[in-house]
A and B are shown apart, each in its own frame.
Chain A
Amino acid sequence: DTGVSQDPRHKITKRGQNVTFRCDPISEHNRLYWYRQTLGQGPEFLTYFQNEAQLEKSRLLSDRFSAERPKGSFSTLEIQRTEQGDSAMYLCASSLAGAGDTQYFGPGTRLTVL
């Protein structure tokens, strides 16, 4: 499968714990995006990278959230001191700048904070 992959697919954690999600984009794509989706809502933008540079962060991304893309390939999204309000589907997408820039989405990581 050469699409965007995300790991894990499901994560259950207790409030106050830290969690980390991984996204592997389509190999030649230089842009990588993180979105969050809660029940009954469309995906909401969190942050995006072009190569290894984090170019934009949403106001939704509190200080407890951090994202990295160290070598311009895979990316990680870490949530520290999780809260029940962090429960959501976390989606990753990737695109190739200058080639229509169509975003291809991964299957998502569903986070449940107890």
Chain B
Amino acid sequence: AQRVTQPEKLLSVFKGAPVELKCNYSYSGSPELFWYVQYSRQRLQLLLRHISRESIKGFTADLNKGETSFHLKKPFAQEEDSAMYYCALTRGESGYSTLTFGKGTMLLVSP
């Protein structure tokens, strides 16, 4: 069975500092990896997915199959980045799309 691990419950940084939210996964096949974000009093929303290789709101994430990691990074944190971040995966099989989530990391960016 697949599993997603986010080792940090809380990450607290100052505005302008670099951010790295860690995500490790276990799955024997070729998964698709995602980062979802939930801002205060808002619904869960997709931030980015590895196949898109995009930078969203200054965040990037690279899939490292050797280390089975998909860490989320941003060079300069902003106060509006404060939110709950969830790493998730789906099995990269045709027609399969259900998500397995990690427990989440709360990011707090202080002024």
Contact = CB atoms under 8 A, between A and B. Distances in A.
Given A56-B98, A101-B97, A43 B86 contact: yes
Interface string B38-50: 0000011110010
Given A42-B88, A43-B86, A105 B45 contact: yes
Interface string A95-114: 10100011111111000000
Interface of B is mostly: loop
B45 A45 contact: no
A69 interface: no
Contacts of A97: 95, 97
A45 B43 contact: no
Contact of B46 (A33, A102, A106): A102
Nearest to B97: A101
Contacts of B44: 43, 91, 105
Q: How large is the interface on A (under 10, 10 to 19, 20 to 34, 35 or more residues)?
A: 20 to 34
B84 to A, nearest CB: 9
Interface in A57-114: 91, 95, 97, 101-108
Interface string B74-108: 00000000000010100000010111111110000
Given A91-B44, A107-B43, A45 B98 contact: yes
B64 to A, nearest CB: 21
Interface of A is mostly: loop
Contacts of B88: 42
Contacts of B100: 45
Which residue, B9, B44, B95, B103, has most C-beta atoms of chain A within 10 A? B44
Contacts of B101: 42-44
Contacts of B49: 102
A41 interface: yes
A81 B44 CA distance: 29
Nearest to A43: B101
A4 B100 CA distance: 20
Contact of A48 (B43, B46, B98): B98
A97 B98 CA distance: 12
Across chains A and B, which 4 residue pairs bring their CB atoms closest together, nearest first?
A: A42-B101, A105-B44, A45-B98, A101-B97
